[in-house]
Amino acid sequence: MSWQVVSTIVVLGVVTTAAYLDTVSGRIPNVLTVPAVLLGILLMTSAQGMPGLLASLEGVGLALGVWIVTGLLGGSLGGGDIKLLAAVGALSGPLFLLHVIVFGVLAGGVWAVVAALRHGLLRASLRRLWAGVWCAAATRTPGQLVEQSGGLQIPYAPAIALGTVVALLRGGSI
């Protein structure tokens, strides 16, 4: 069995488990993500040597970059979500993770709109978002966008899991 098949199986297992746990408990435990990051680094390094190590670390670095950017925007992703992205990045490298992030953001956006509709918060959320965008553009302080979200929180691991599956189905290989 090739290392890509093993990585794909591990990634799918980790994101599926994280999606379930995040939906049920609102948490993604370190006991799931941290070993996956270490396994990804070990697996990529043993399969590809130094290029594999660098690709794995670049995947983790991309996840940390997402953490920094979302932190500047008000911290819309939790630590478990970032560690989940780091695990996917360590197991797959930065290019695949970039696809996961793009498809995950799209899935998370749809998920957020559906959740806002279900809770009757869509109109108020859009109004706050519009006002926040104008305020951020005028004052250059984007951190206020998320803080004014009205308290609706959704688990994001399912969006990451869906982004992973879509990235795989669209021909992305680990």
| pLDDT band of 89, cuts 50, 70, 90 | very high
Segment 144-152 mean pLDDT? 52
Segment 87-105 mean pLDDT? 96
Could you report the per-residue pLDDT of 23-38, keeping only the tens digit for each? 999 999 999 999 999 9
- The 3 state secondary structure assigned to the chain is CCHHHHHHHHHHHHHHHHHHHHHHHCCCCHHHHHHHHHHHHHHHHHHHCHHHHHHHHHHHHHHHHHHHHHHHCCCCCCHHHHHHHHHHHHHHCHHHHHHHHHHHHHHHHHHHHHHHHHCCCHHHHHHHHHHHHHHHHHHCCCCHHHHCCCCCCCCCHHHHHHHHHHHHHCCCCC
